[in-house]
Structure 1
Amino acid sequence: MRSAGTIAIVGATGQVGGVMRQILEERKVPFDHIRFFASPRSAGTVIEFDGRSIEVEDVKTADLRGIDYAVFSIGATASKVHAPRFVEAGAVVIDNSSAYRMDPNVPLVVPEVNPREVVRHPLGIIANPNCTTMIAMPPLAIIDRLFGLERVIAATYQAASGAGREGVAELDAELQRPNLAALTFDGGAVDFMSPVKFPAVLAGNVIPLAGDLHDGDTSEEEKFVNESRKILGLADLRCHVTCVRVPVFTGHSIAIVAECRDTPRVESFVDALRQEPGCQIVELPTPLASAGIDPVLIGRIRPDRSSTNGIAFFVSGDNLRKGAALNAIQVLEVLLRYKA
């Protein structure tokens, strides 16, 4: 793998940006120089990285010349403003936001599924999928390859950190309420502070609404459907998903039923999963077990007994690692291999 030259982490002080920095060190991605960028509010912060002290630059005013690859995690609105600036200055952008995912000229890449898509990026931008979609892609790609995927029915169980640091802080504050256990156990009404980040109290609860509602479906549900079709190359894939927020800090989970063209065999699926480094078969996949590790955890694999051509499984994955930061760094590694 050749050197990446100069790498930029844009959003370096954020939740995902911190994980990106950690993964760059862990995976020893070769580069000559690294620069950190953030909003004006965080500019001037000093970050310790690989034995060096690096000052965070203001993304709005910094000189962007000389950057070869820029990995973004700053939100869709900011990405639409700043990604073209980095491309114009000569960088290839790997964007973690929703800004470019469905643009036909921007590849949407999961390296275990469609790595060669990185070769074609006419706008100079490669998109990272939504964190929930990401976790489902490696096992669904295997099912499609083996049996021909035709329909997906899914229910997600999404952690508070999927809503950023504010989501984590809100859940943590609710859990600190001393009367939580007594009120929920005894069946009394829970008198909390009014939730801000979520549409209802999350502690001791589940919320069957993640994202903004659009004609009955939420934005999170729409992302799962549309991004799955694009990544898997299945434009006509039938897909229905309900996205649920659960009182977990890190780790998204999904219960999936996949209907196939050919009759699926559990043994063949399990054998293929064992050959995929991004997947790990476990007896009981949980978000807690997936936190802080790279592979997605897959278990509860069994035939769908309501149909002749279905297979069911449960998958958990760290939404900040494979769901965001790790996938972006893996995309960078694929770029470096193909350009070697």
Structure 2
Amino acid sequence: MAKQCNVAVVGATGAVGQQMLEVLAERNFPIKELRLLASERSVGKFLEYNGEQHMVQLLDKDAFEGIDIALFSAGGARSEEFCPIAAAAGAICVDNSSAWRMDPEVPLVVPEVNPQDIAQYGKKGIIANPNCSTIQMLVALKPLHDAAKITRIVVSTYQAVSGTGRNAIDELRIQSGELLNGRPADCEVYPHQIAFNCLPHIDVFLDNGYTKEEMKMVNETRKIFGDDSIGVTATTVRVPVFYSHSESINIETEKKLSAEQARELLANAPGVRVVDDVANLEYPLAVDAAGQDLTLVGRIREDESIANGLNLWVVADNLRKGAATNAVQIAEIVLEKYL
């Protein structure tokens, strides 16, 4: 019989939590007991998993007894409080918040990039899921980095509203309807209208003029690649798209990589699909990435302004590969190698 384990999903009623349930079912994760955990306001609700209804239970200090793997997607404050409790009860935690990402004793993992770092989980019993934008970027850049060593990354993101949560999805939908019918749009989730607009502002602004989201991409990239010498600069933008983040990425490398060499490397890379036939107007689109787990890469071309530069357009589903699927992939490795 295949190895099975007891799994808790923390924040099960949220957008990412429900996506985790879908991904667990799709990938036939071998679950013996599934425990859905959330705050008091969600206790007693029922969620479907694999055709069966499961009741949501209260997230408290006694919720993790007998749990082997705990998938967290309940926000940073909950993760800071309950990951140590779950780990003390014997669970290995995979946390989707930003709470533990830069902790030197917690591995920050993209399975296609640095799966070996999962072995470090024992220091705190926690493995961190990176930021959604970092995940898709590094899935695309890993084979290029291995081949030619990336020295600098300039990235601009175009991020879907689902990255903010269900209320943001509703805000874009409602604002679009109001504006198309000649009525003013109310702003509650974002500081400005998001419908038919772009906001160069994700998370809070820091003293250096960057946003917290931008600095996450900088710091997480260096940690995952294990190289603090890589120059990284980011501009993150919220756009009126429901699902899937898009990124314009420019890299400089130590060794020359032609566009054709890059395409070949990416065509053979795990988790990547090259969509790059401009003669037929084929390139990565958010609508094509939504609902699946591959990172789409296209518009691959040499940067003619520098000696060793490439430009890429990278798109992935932020709720799946950018969150739920990455966490479940980590859990699969944990189950296979560490339980």
1:285 aligns with 2:284: yes
Deviations for 1:154-177, whole angstroms, at most 9, x for unmatched residues?
A: 110000011111111111110111
Distance (Å, rounded) in 2 between the aligned partners of 1:28 and 1:65: 23
Match of 1:208 in 2: 200
Mapped to 2, the partners of 1:4 and 1:137 lie a distance apart of 30
The one-letter code of the counterpart of 1:46 is: F
Does 2:211 align with 1:218? yes
1:309 aligns with 2:302: no
Letter in 1 for 2:292: I
Q: Which residue of 2 aligns with 1:187?
A: none
Contact 2:23/2:328, CA 8 A, preserved across alignment: yes
1:250 aligned onto 2:243:
yes
2:29·2:332 contact (CA, 8 Å) conserved in 1? yes
2: distance between equivalents of 1:49 and 1:196? Answer: 32
TM-score by length of 2: 0.94
State the SS of the aligned residue for 2:287: helix
C-alpha separation in 2, matches of 1:155 and 1:199: 20
Question: What code does the residue aligned with 1:338 have?
Answer: K
Q: Is 2:42 aligned against 1:21? A: no
- Identify unmatched segments of 5+ residues in structure 1: 183-189
Residue equivalent to 1:296: 295
**Amino acid across the alignment from 2:326:** N
Q: For 1:300, what is the secondary structure of its paired residue?
A: strand
Q: Within 5 A, what are the aligned runs for 1:227-238?
A: 227-238=220-231
Distance 1:178 1:321 in 2: 30
Mapping 1:105-144, distance limit 5 Å:
105-121=105-121, 122-144=123-145
1:104 aligns with 2:104: yes
Contact 2:214-2:234 at 8 Å conserved across structures: yes
Q: Which residue of 2 aligns with 1:240?
A: 233
Number of the residue aligned with 1:148: 149
Call closer, same or farther: CA 1:2–1:230 in 2, change over 3 Å.
Answer: farther
| Whole-angstrom distance in 2 between the partners of 1:72 and 1:326 | 13
Could you say which residue in structure 1 is the equivalent of 2:54?
A: 54
CA distance in 1 between counterparts of 2:70 and 2:143 reads 30
Give yes or no for contact 1:4–1:32 (8 Å, CA) kept in 2: yes
Output the CA distance in 2 between the equivalents of 1:205 and 1:211.
17
Q: TM-score, normalised by structure 1?
A: 0.94
- Specify the code of the residue in structure 2 equivalent to 1:154: V
Q: Are 2:168 and 1:176 aligned? A: no
How many percent of aligned residue pairs carry the same amino acid? 41
Q: Distance in 2 between matches of 1:55 and 1:245?
A: 35
Which segment drifts farther, 49-58 or 292-301?
49-58
* Separation (CA, whole Å) in 1 of partners of 2:13 and 2:24: 15
- Mean alpha-carbon deviation: is it higher for 282-291 or for 253-262? 282-291
- Measure the CA separation in 2 of the matches of 1:141 and 1:61: 39
Partner of 1:269: 262
The Cα shift of 1:91 comes to: 0.4
1:322 aligned residue:
321
What's the counterpart of residue 278 of structure 2? none
Of 78-87 and 59-68, more deviation after overlay is shown by 59-68
Shift of 1:3: 2.4
Q: Mean alpha-carbon deviation: is it higher for 289-298 or for 28-37?
A: 28-37
Unaligned runs of 5+ in 2: 276-281
In the TM superposition, 1:328-339 aligns within 5 A as 328-339=327-338
Take 1:7 and 1:133, find their aligned partners in 2: how far apart are those partners? 26
Contact (CA 8 Å) 2:150, 2:251: kept in 1 or not?
yes
How far residue 19 of structure 1 moved from its aligned partner, in angstroms, is 0.7
Q: Does the CA-based 8 Å contact 2:11-2:73 persist in structure 1?
A: yes
Paired amino acid for 1:298: V
Is the partner of 2:329 in helix, strand or coil?
helix
Distance 2:61 2:111 in 1: 33
Q: CA deviation at 1:98?
A: 0.2
**1:2 Cα deviation (Å)?**
5.3
Which deviations, in whole Å up to 9, do the C-alpha atoms of 1:227-262 show, x marking residues without a partner? 011111111110111001100001001000000011
Post-superposition shift, 1:51? 3.2
Q: Which moved more, 1:317-326 or 1:200-209?
A: 200-209
Amino acid at match of 2:307: T
1:43-70 superposed Cα distances (whole Å, 9 cap, x missing partner): 1111222232211110026442100100
Alignment-mate amino acid for residue 171 of structure 1: L
